[in-house]
């Protein structure tokens, strides 16, 4: 708090300061006058008498100023600057509030921490999720292996939330009976113990007090600290957390494997069904058309046509040769003409068969349409066979990937066994309580004086 100067003090200071300032000014003037007189005496030796008179006057003035200064000091001593301060009722109230709201609670908190609160031992463990690299045939399937593994960062996120979950508390409670251990000092150590009939939700709330989790999302490292009234029990808690986390990672692995196998088996079943349909459609086509392979059939017919064309050409040559040597009425010429007519008729019939699927041109199906249908069915069959082979390869890769563990829990800090109690942190808790109470009390005092000054 800053001190306020009283009006009497400022007036006396001004009164005592004025003679001092006047004395200093007179002394400066005297010194300057003496220097001036010395210079004049050096230049004009005839003025020595005047200088002596001037010095006498200056001494008289200095004596008068000193007398005034002494009088001013005497007056200041007779009238005091301010009255001595006295304790008032509000001052006693502030002191009493400090004892009630700061000192007494701080003493009570420290008394509880150092005499009532039980020692707790801390066990530490650290782990992270590692993933094996997939290689071989699984890399050739265009990312199929991605169904069997996920990023380790997301797995660490899952474990971070799982350790704080109700499921983790239930698993550890079934193994170690958390209520029995942490309620053994109830209600004596009521601040750090839990009541025996606590519900699972209350046990989860208490779990967040005794189990501290540190997680680095960048590296995926997880560090867990568990505190208990016994060193072996705290180590058992960290081991249980480690085991439950490993079980959860294995469950995620199994789920990923099951999903990968399920997708591969579903793709294989779909490919097999498509292959069956394609083969059945081709079989129905062959049964309906009585043609095994229209391509081979048309090649055979084209061979017949080519043979007939060759025979026709040879018959025409023979006819021309025969006609040049005998007459037109010769029986051999008529027989040659008859042979040529038969060959031409056969060629016309074969040409008609090339555009139909039967001997009866009027009732048969269009042969080019049959050939187009056969090619379409053949392409569907080839595609179904390729899809089926790819599905078989994918199933083998998924089965190979499922036969090994793609993710596992790597422990970089084994569950430790404490030798000395580290909790509760009495010095830190006591210091924070003192600072908090002092801060609240200071704000209350400032608010009180602010309201008082305004009123």
Burial tier of 73 (Cβ tally within 10 Å: 0-12, 13-18, 19+): middle
Indicate the residue among 78, 97, 129 that finishes a domain. 78
Give the relative orientation of helices 166-176 and 152-163 as an angle to the nearest 10 degrees.
Answer: 60
Per-residue pLDDT, 144? 40
Residue 290 and residue 394 share a domain: yes
Closest CA to 210 of 185, 227, 235: 227
Neighbours of 397 (CB within 10 A): 22
Judge whether 2 lies within some domain. Answer: no
416 and 389, same domain (yes or no) = no
Q: Share the mean pLDDT of the chain.
A: 79
**In the prediction, which pLDDT does 255 show?**
84
Relative to beta strand 211-216, strand 221-228 is antiparallel
CATH of the domain at 310: 1.10.287
Does the pLDDT of residue 361 top 80, yes or no? no
- Mean pLDDT for 370-398 is 89
> Do 338 and 387 share a structural domain?
yes
Give residue 217's pLDDT.
85
Could you tell me how far CA 216 lies from the centroid of its own chain? 9
Q: Are 388 and 382 in contact (CB under 8 A)?
A: no
Q: Is residue 1 part of a domain?
A: no
- Please state the length of the chain: 455
The Cα 366–Cα 356 span in angstroms is 5
Asked if the structure places residue 246 within a domain, the reply is yes
- 18 has a pLDDT exceeding 60: no
Q: CA-CA distance, 29 to 281, in Å (whole number)?
A: 134
Higher-confidence position of 160 and 22: 160
**pLDDT over 70 at 358, yes or no:** no
Measure the CA–CA gap between 324 and 318, rounded to whole angstroms: 10
Cβ-based neighbours of 248, under 8 Å, separated by 6 or more: 158, 159, 162
CB proximity list for 111: less than 8 A, separation 6 or greater: none
User: Which among 400, 433, 453 has a CA at the least distance from the CA of 135?
Assistant: 400
CB 178 within 8 A of CB 208: no
| Plot region of 241 (φ>0 → left; ψ -120 to 50 → alpha; else → beta) | alpha
Q: What is the pLDDT of residue 76?
A: 59
pLDDT at 79: 53
* Residue 319 sits in the same domain as residue 336: yes
Both tokens of 92, joined, read: 């006693």
User: Tens digit of pLDDT for each residue in 264-319?
Assistant: 888 899 999 999 999 998 889 888 888 777 777 667 777 777 888 888 888 888 88
CA distances from 102 to 99, 387, 450 (A): 6, 80, 21
Residue 278 CB partners (closer than 8 Å, separation 6+)? 377, 380, 381, 383, 384, 385
pLDDT of 145 higher than 70: no
* Digit-coded pLDDT (tens) for 94-134: 889 899 999 999 999 999 999 999 999 999 999 999 877 55
**pLDDT per residue over 51-86, tens digit each?**
777 877 888 888 888 888 777 776 655 555 556 666
Is 133 in the same domain as 155? yes
Whether 237 shows a pLDDT value over 90: the answer reads yes
Kindly report, residue by residue over 404-454, the tens digit of the pLDDT: 657 888 999 999 999 998 888 899 999 999 999 999 999 999 998 888 878
Q: Same domain for 39 and 150?
A: no
Q: Mean pLDDT, to the nearest integer, of 342-367?
A: 65
Q: What is the pLDDT of residue 83?
A: 60
Q: First and final CA of the chain: distance in angstroms?
A: 21
- What confidence score (pLDDT) does residue 58 get? 83
Task: Specify the higher pLDDT residue, 177 or 136.
Answer: 177
The pLDDT score that the predictor gives to residue 12 is: 37
Share of the chain above pLDDT 90, in %: 36
213 has pLDDT over 90:
yes
Token duo for residue 378:
């053949």
The number of angstroms, rounded, from the C-alpha of 347 to the middle of its chain's C-alpha atoms is 81
Distance CA 230, CA 181 (A): 9
- pLDDT band of residue 386 (cuts 50, 70, 90) is very high
- The per-residue pLDDT for 53 is 76
State the pLDDT confidence band at 340, using cuts at 50, 70 and 90: confident
Task: Tell me the two tokens of residue 266.
Answer: 């579903």
Using one digit for the tens of pLDDT, what is the confidence trace for 156-190? 899 999 999 999 999 999 999 999 999 999 989 89
CA–CA separation, 77 vs 240, rounded Å? 84
Same domain, yes or no, for 52 and 128? Answer: no
Domain span at 455 = 86-117+426-455
* Residue 237 shares a structural domain with residue 251: yes
pLDDT at 75: 67
- The whole-number pLDDT of residue 66 equals 83
Same domain, 61 and 148: no
pLDDT at 37 over 60: no
Q: Do 454 and 358 fall into the same domain?
A: no
Same structural domain, 21 and 63: yes
So what's the pLDDT on residue 106? 94
The more confidently predicted of residues 383 and 289 is 383
Q: Indicate the residue among 51, 78, 105 that finishes a domain.
A: 78
Count of structural domains, the chain: 4
Q: Are residues 324 and 199 in the same domain?
A: no
| pLDDT at residue 80 in the model | 55
pLDDT of residue 166: 94
Find the CATH number of the domain harbouring 409.
3.30.1890
- Convert the chain into a string of H (helix), E (strand) and C (coil): CCCCCCHHHHHHHHHHHHHHHHHHHHHHHHHHHHHHHHHHHHHCHHHHHHHHHHHHHHHHHHHHHHHHHHHHHHHHHHCCCCCCCCCCHHHHHHHHHHHHHHHHHHHHHHHHHHHHCCCEEEEEEEEEEEECCCCHHHHHHCCHHHHHCCCHHHHHHHHHHHHCCHHHHHHHHHHHCHHHHHCCCCCCCCCCCCCCCCCHHHHHHHHHHHEEEEEECCCCEEEEEEEECCHHHHHHHHHHHHHHHHHHHHHHHHHHHHHHHHHHHHHHHHHHHHHHHHHHHHHHHHHHHCCCCHHHHHHHHHHHHHHHHHHHHHHHHHHHHHHHHCCCCCHHHHHHHHHHHHHHHHHHHHHHHHCECCCCCCCCCEHHHHHHHHHHHHHHHHHHHHHHHHHHHHHHHHHHHHCCCCEEEEEEECCCCCCCCCECCHHHHHHHHHHHHHHHHHHHHHHHHHHHHHC
Residue 416: how many CB atoms within 10 A of its CB? 17
Query: Residue 292 domain-assigned?
Result: yes
């Amino acid at each position: 708090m800053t001190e306020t100067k009283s009006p009497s003090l400022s007036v006396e200071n001004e009164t005592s300061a004025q003679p001092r300032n006047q004395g200093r000014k007179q002394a400066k003037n005297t010194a300057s006058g003496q220097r001036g007189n010395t210079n004049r005496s050096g230049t004009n030796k005839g003025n020595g008498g005047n200088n002596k008179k001037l010095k006498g006057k200056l001494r008289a003035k200095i004596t008068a100023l000193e007398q005034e200064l002494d009088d001013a000091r005497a007056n200041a001593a007779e009238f005091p600057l301010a009255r001595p301060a006295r304790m008032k009722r509000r001052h006693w109230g502030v002191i009493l509030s400090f004892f009630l709201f700061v000192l007494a609670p701080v003493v009570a908190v420290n008394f509880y921490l150092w005499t009532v609160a039980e020692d707790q031992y801390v066990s530490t463990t650290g782990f992270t999720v590692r993933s094996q690299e997939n290689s071989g045939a699984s890399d050739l399937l265009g990312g199929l292996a991605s169904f069997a593994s996920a990023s380790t960062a997301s797995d660490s996120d899952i474990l971070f939330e799982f350790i704080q979950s109700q499921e983790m508390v239930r698993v550890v409670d079934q193994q170690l009976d958390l209520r029995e251990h942490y309620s053994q000092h109830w209600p004596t150590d009521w601040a750090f113990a839990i009541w025996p009939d606590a519900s699972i939700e209350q046990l989860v709330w208490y779990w967040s007090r005794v189990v501290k989790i540190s997680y680095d999302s960048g590296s995926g490292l997880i560090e867990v600290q568990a505190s208990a009234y016994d060193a072996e029990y705290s180590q058992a808690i960290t081991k249980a957390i480690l085991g439950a986390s490993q079980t959860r990672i294995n469950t995620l692995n199994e789920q990923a494997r099951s999903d990968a196998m399920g997708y591969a088996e579903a793709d294989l079943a779909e490919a097999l069904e498509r292959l069956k349909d394609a083969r059945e459609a081709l079989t129905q086509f062959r049964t309906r058309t009585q043609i095994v392979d229209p391509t081979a059939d048309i090649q055979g017919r084209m061979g017949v046509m080519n043979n007939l064309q060759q025979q026709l050409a040879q018959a025409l040559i023979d006819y021309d040769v025969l006609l040049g040597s005998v007459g037109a009425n010769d029986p051999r010429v008529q027989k040659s003409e008859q042979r040529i007519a038969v060959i031409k008729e056969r060629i016309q019939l074969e040409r008609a068969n090339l555009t139909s699927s039967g001997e009866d041109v009027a009732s048969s199906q269009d042969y080019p349409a049959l050939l187009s249908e056969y090619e379409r069915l053949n392409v569907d069959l080839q595609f179904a066979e390729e899809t089926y082979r790819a599905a078989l390869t994918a199933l083998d890769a998924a089965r190979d990937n499922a036969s090994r563990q793609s993710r596992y829990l790597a422990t970089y800090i084994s569950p430790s066994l404490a030798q000395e109690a580290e909790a509760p942190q009495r010095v830190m808790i006591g210091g924070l309580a003192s600072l908090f109470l002092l801060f609240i009390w200071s704000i209350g005092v400032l608010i009180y004086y602010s309201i008082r000054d305004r009123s």
